[in-house]
Structure 1
Amino acid sequence: MTLIDFLGFSGAFLIGIILGLMGGGGSILTVPLLVYLLSYNPVVATAYSLFVVGMSSVVGIIQKHQEKLVDFKTGLAFSFPSFLAVYMSRRYVVPNIPDEIFSLNGFVLTKEMAIMVFFAIIMLLAAISMIKRKPKFDGPFKKQAYYKTFVQALVIGTITGLIGAGGGFLYVPALVLWAGLNMKNAVGTSLVIIAINSIIGFLGDLHTLDIDWEFLLSFTFLTILGILLGGYLSKYISNKKLKKGFGWFVMVMAIYIMIKEFS
């Protein structure tokens, strides 16, 4: 095992710890780790990330279900349009993005560059959502018409499919504002959507990519071990302070990706 491989697998374990500590967020580092440290193509990296996120979310569902914080009915209802969008984007949209999107005065926007820049933008949004103080959503809720939720889930699913991240920072507020769940139940329920979306999105990639199963399963196994350790440590560490600090770290990473891609 080379030093790079060691650092990569150590990163997988660290991502798992972050996921276990905060219930989300760590998966957004999987793609940069695979691309910049382990030198995977962004398309392959987003596919691998979907698998890691999907398997990790299943572990999270088990943990949250034991705490009675998962609304399976709402999660499955929201999942249907979302996983359709994830699968279609991975199966048809990503493979058909041209390798060279456009060029202007010597600047060439490639497919790989576009994916990473879009990913960095989503990272920035995620960082802001973790840093800022979230409003309390207490009081009566009125569920919106399902067709609106259907369209919104299609949009979120498409974004999730393109960037290969879990999208919890998008699904949690959606479940609070549109389905009327409280924050804790929204976090637990979002894992159902994330797990289904990620696994089905990955299935879309099986038609177009050759998967290194030995690496992927090893990487995922270490991430899950990290989740179990993080879940244990979460009893002793302030989730609020940790999430804010991690938000700043994600913001720095997003800026780094932007600089690296445009330099």
Structure 2
Amino acid sequence: MEIIEILGYSGALLIGLVLGLIGGGGSILTVPILVYALAINPVTATAYSLFVVGSTSLVGAVKNMIKGMVDFKTAIIFAIPAFIAVYLTRAFLIPIIPEILFSIDGFEVTKNLAIMLFFAVIMLLASISMVRNNRKENEEETEIKYNYPLIIIEGLVVGTITGIVGAGGGFLIIPALVLLANLPMKKAVATSLFIIAIKSLIGFVGDVQNLAIDWNFLLVFTGLSVIGIFIGVWLNKFIDGKKLKKAFGWFVLVMGIYIIYKELAG
């Protein structure tokens, strides 16, 4: 096994580790690790990412369910439009995107290039959300009210983004749960993880009908990520999650800039 492959599989542990330590963000690393360390095609990488993200998030979601932290009614209301959008994106939108979108003075903008650049933009937005992190930690139980039109729009947008880049979209879902449903922060984080798990796995179902899946590789990679979650949860007892989240945000920012540079310069 080459060093770059070892780094790739080590990256699977890192994905789970980050998720266990700060409750999110690990999924943003999955596609870059699969593409750059393990040389997997971006379209396939985003599909694999959905499975990895969905499976690892499900582990965290089950723990939250046992603790009674998941608001199932809110999760269902938010999730239905997201489920529909992510499935339709993976099953029908991604397959019909042409391999070459357009060319400018001989420079071809391919489907793979567009996906990676869009992913990099999402990384930059996620990094800003993690670095700033100015949300008030409101933990009081308040009356839950639903802004249905905005919830439907937000669900469709998050579902489509998840379908295109293969990331969970927690940095979009958590603020929406706090602002549009009035959930306390801890419940919003727990409910978001449940939504991400189901949404990602439904999106992956849309890929199964279009892609040849290397199940041996995918299950090993996902298994390592799940192990990483348990290590991260244990380490969380000794590390300040807020400071770590901000530091990780800066790392994601650098990664996003690197992807843009690599894709355009390469």
Residue matched to 1:113: 113
1:26 aligns with 2:26: yes
8 Å contact kept, 1:137–1:176: no
1:74-153 alignment, distance < 5 Å: 74-136=74-136, 138=138, 143-153=145-155
Residue matched to 2:14: 14
1:73 aligns with 2:73: yes
Match of 1:228 among 218, 230, 239: 230
**Mean Cα displacement is larger for which, 163-172 or 147-156?**
147-156
What residue identity is the alignment partner of 2:150?
Answer: K
What residue identity is the alignment partner of 2:182?
Answer: G
SS at match of 1:103: strand
Q: Distance in 1 between matches of 2:75 and 2:87?
A: 17
Cα deviation code 1:39-81 (max 9, x no counterpart): 1000000000000000001101122223332111211221111
Q: Distance in 1 between matches of 2:163 and 2:245?
A: 24
Residue matched to 1:37: 37
Residue matched to 1:199: 201
Match of 1:237 among 234, 239, 249: 239
Q: Distance in 2 between matches of 1:194 and 1:10?
A: 23
Q: Distance in 1 between matches of 2:110 and 2:63?
A: 41
8 Å contact kept, 2:21–2:241: yes
TM-score (norm 1): 0.96
8 Å contact kept, 2:144–2:183: no
Cα deviation code 1:91-128 (max 9, x no counterpart): 01111111111111122110000000000000000000
Q: Distance in 2 between matches of 1:74 and 1:205?
A: 27
Residue matched to 1:249: 251
8 Å contact kept, 1:57–1:194: yes
SS at match of 1:109: strand
8 Å contact kept, 2:150–2:180: no
Q: Distance in 2 between matches of 1:160 and 1:66?
A: 26
Q: Distance in 2 between matches of 1:57 and 1:72?
A: 16
Question: What's the CA shift for 1:137?
Answer: 6.2
Q: Distance in 1 between matches of 2:26 and 2:155?
A: 22
CA-based RMSD of the aligned residues comes to 1.4
Question: What's the CA shift for 1:28?
Answer: 0.4
Question: What's the CA shift for 1:142?
Answer: 7.2
SS at match of 1:39: coil
What residue identity is the alignment partner of 1:250?
Answer: V
1:169 aligns with 2:171: yes
1:154 aligns with 2:156: yes
Q: Distance in 2 between matches of 1:143 and 1:158?
A: 25
Q: Distance in 2 between matches of 1:14 and 1:57?
A: 14
Q: Which runs of 5+ in 2 are unaligned?
A: none
SS at match of 2:63: helix
Q: What count of residue pairs does the alignment treat as equivalent?
A: 263
8 Å contact kept, 1:20–1:227: yes
Cα deviation code 1:1-56 (max 9, x no counterpart): 33232211111011111110011101100000000111100000000000000000
Q: Distance in 1 between matches of 2:135 and 2:5?
A: 41
Question: What's the CA shift for 1:151?
Answer: 1.9
Q: Distance in 2 between matches of 1:38 and 1:181?
A: 39
Question: What's the CA shift for 1:144?
Answer: 4.2
1:259 aligns with 2:258: no
